[in-house]
Amino acid sequence: MNDTSEEHYRALIEARLGDLEREDRLGQSGQATVTLDQQAVGRLSRQDALQNQAMAKATHARRQTERKRLTAALARIDAGEFGFCDSCGEAIAPGRLALDPAATRCVECARG
């Protein structure tokens, strides 16, 4: 992989990390402790609020996992190991990396 393509993937990864940061800021209110006045709001509304909170926390956890994958991809770029399959050592197809720059396996190994 040449330096130009590595910089292209680095830019994609850094842009996605920025998106995740913005999404985290927007989702913080959904993860806050649910406080509802039981006299003013019914039991179903409280259950709905708790479900929304659980979904917000799960979404945050998925973003954290994605952030770790992207950070690991940046480390592979720095180490000169980016774009090669962890399983077989072959180059990962550019189309696969364009869709998921954090991919660590080629299509064949990912299927297996």
Write out pLDDT tens, residues 47-100: 887 888 888 889 999 999 999 999 999 999 999 999 999 999 999 999 999 999
Q: Over pLDDT 90: what percentage of the chain?
A: 63
CB-count exposure of residue 106 (10 Å: 0-12, 13-18, 19+): buried
Q: Write out the residue range of the structural domain in which residue 58 sits.
A: 3-83
Does residue 32 fall inside a structural domain?
A: yes
Q: Is 18 helix (H, G, I), strand (E, B) or coil?
A: helix
pTM score of the predicted model = 0.79
What's the domain count of the chain? Answer: 1
Q: Confirm whether 92 is domain-assigned.
A: no
Say what the pLDDT of residue 29 is: 61
**How many other C-beta atoms are found inside a 10 Å radius of the C-beta of residue 97?**
20
Predicted pLDDT at 52: 83
